[in-house]
Structure 1
Amino acid sequence: MSFGIALYYYGLNADRHHPLPYFHWAFVSSERPWSENNTTCYEIIRLDNFVWKWHFTRPDLAKSARFSGIAELGNFPGSAKLIDKIIRTYHAANVNEWNVTGPSGWTCATWVMKLAIDLEEQGYFNFPDGISEDNLYRTVLEKGQILRDLKGMTRIPVLPLDD
């Protein structure tokens, strides 16, 4: 089963001192090739009262105007039920004040990165050589910029994390 990070482009970051592109991040998995557009999407969204909430769906990525593509993490060695069970243990709210190199504060990117880093630490997959929690954020943003430019050239743009 393939899994990765779906990126949805929302423009440039509003912070002029940190002018990186802003992408909404979601964790995606599929038991079929990405091109079949048969994914399960796990994300957190912030409500108007600034509370984070889970949002798990089976979206049509090809029809989403903001969807840029998938930064593929690799293959998950278990079933869809197992990955679903694991992900549902990751609360939307940051109860432990977990931080990582990259985004400031608790964001959709932080939640996805925590999930990916924990899956690696638990032995479900290995980050490619040269990728670590210290450069994961920047690497995914760089992939996002390329994926954004590939939109429309292929139905579901996908780049492996290690290219």
Structure 2
Amino acid sequence: MAFVAALKDPVVADLKNSVEDWKGLSVETFGDLLLNDTLVITRGTNSSDRLTYHIYLFERILLCCKPNNSKPKKGLWISKKPETSSLQGPLLLLKGRIFMNDVTRVIPFTRANPNSRDWQYAMVLCFKGDGQEETFSVYFDDPGTMDTWVKLINLQSEAMKYHA
């Protein structure tokens, strides 16, 4: 069973213990963890607000989490690294979730970065939101990482639509 195997993954076990409020979601239903990374995103098509999130791609869902920067509760020591959180308490806040069957399009793009000589590698993730299509962009350091995320999201999105 993929669900049982996923919970044996140390990253998934750590994630399960690190999120303060799962908002009614159950990690056991996500499927296997396929990718995770700390990435910069922007919401919408015209947003200049760049936010850094830890993004987890599972078979059935994509999660966006950010560090819980609030003051620790009395008696808790909180590490700045989510990887060590299994020893302490909730370190992450669940800021967004997209079910793979709600993904409508993934658009990769590459362009020159206006602030440097480097290139920007990004994907625009389009998904069914509250009554309309919503988007956010995810930025990558290299084209290979971007391609991997795009391919796996497309693959999982199609698989979930096929099984729905």
- Structure with greater proportional strand content: 2
**TM-score, length of structure 2 as denominator length:** 0.24
Higher Cα Rg, which structure: 2
**TM-score, length of structure 1 as denominator length:** 0.24
